[in-house]
Homo-oligomer: A and B are copies of this chain.
């Protein structure tokens, strides 16, 4: 659509900000993108970006259409003893994906991540900066090993999502949540807490 001369209404402004944010996050990643640059790209004042979307994190979650706010779920995973953390991680993940509303949004996010290189980057940024960094940051891990542990955990969890919710491969697709947790938690425990293989 051609732009008209009139000043954009609220919806247009929101969308201009989201487009600019999408470009910025995909080009520079979450950490290097700034609200100021995003505001400039949208032709608005940075204060307006904060007004509509709050923090940079909240803007990022809106941009990727995140199915949930990871911060609000972290206590469910992190609170409690370390030995049970893998169980809590898998069961929280399954609860989100089994839920019709957040699950549908999560499938949409996963699908979009496979469409383009930029959307793959957005999904990667979401995984690393919004989820893995927070979970790994709470554990007492060797900083040199934490990224590999995070990518192994991500590989198991995203694969389970693909099989259970996208490809719907039985019997994992229809298995009770407890079975999924009991099957995957030992894998997550090994990736997070056991010695990593030496290259």
Contacts and interface: CB of A to CB of B under 8 A. Distances in A.
A102 B163 CA distance: 22
A82 interface: no
B154 A163 contact: yes
Interface residues of A, number: 47
A167 B199 contact: no
Interface stretch (A5-13, A32-40, A53-61, A119-127): A119-127
Interface string A21-42: 0000000000000000000000
A186 B195 CA distance: 12
A155 B166 contact: no
A66 to B, nearest CB: 16
Interface of A: 110-111, 113-115, 120, 123-124, 127-128, 147-148, 151-152, 154-164, 166-173, 175-176, 178-179, 182-184, 186-187, 190-191, 196-197, 199
Given A156-B159, A157-B159, 5 more contacts: A127-B169, A151-B170, A154-B169, A159-B161, A176-B199
